[in-house]
Amino acid sequence: MAAKRILLEVGTGNDWHGGDYTKAAARAVEDALHHCSLIFLRTLAVDPGEMRVDVTIGVQQPAKVDADVIRSLIPHGQVSVTAVSGGLDVANAGSDDISVIANAAITVHLDLDR
C-alpha cells in the first residue's frame, strides 16, 4: 500500500538584511518543526526512519536555497527538499539590501499497512 500523509506543518522564516535565501528557509523549517510533535510514533512503535518527509520551501529565488542545508535540519526519515517560487522579497528603504521571507511546508508520509 502507498504511504499516507499523516502530518502537514507550516512555518515562516526570514533573513532581514542578508538576502540569504537558505537562512530564511532554514528558519522557516525550524519554525515548522517547533510546532509539531510526532509522539504517536512511539505509541505505535514506528521506526522514525520509515517516514518519508517532504519539505517544500517557497522563496522568490528558489535556486538560491541550499537543499543539503535544509535536509540536515530534519532529524528523522527519508527527506526530500523542493524549493519553489513563493515567499517575499521586501526592499529595504534606501538600500540594495532586501529582506527575504520564506515559507516552509513539511509533510510526513507513513505506510500504515505495515
pLDDT value for 114:
59
pLDDT value for 20:
97
CATH number at residue 24: 3.30.1330.20
pLDDT value for 103:
98
pTM above 0.85, yes or no: yes
Collapsed DSSP state (helix, strand, coil) of residue 11: strand
pLDDT value for 61:
98
pLDDT value for 94:
66
Residue span of the structural domain in which 32 resides: 4-110
Q: pLDDT digit of tens for each residue in the chain (114 aa)?
A: 588 999 999 999 999 988 999 999 999 999 999 998 888 888 888 899 999 999 999 999 999 999 999 999 999 999 999 999 999 999 987 677 899 999 999 999 998 775
**Burial class of 108 by CB neighbour count within 10 A (0 to 12, 13 to 18, 19+):** buried
Residues facing 90 on adjacent strands: 99
pLDDT value for 40:
84
What is the domain count for the chain? Answer: 1
**Burial class of 15 by CB neighbour count within 10 A (0 to 12, 13 to 18, 19+):** buried
pLDDT value for 1:
59
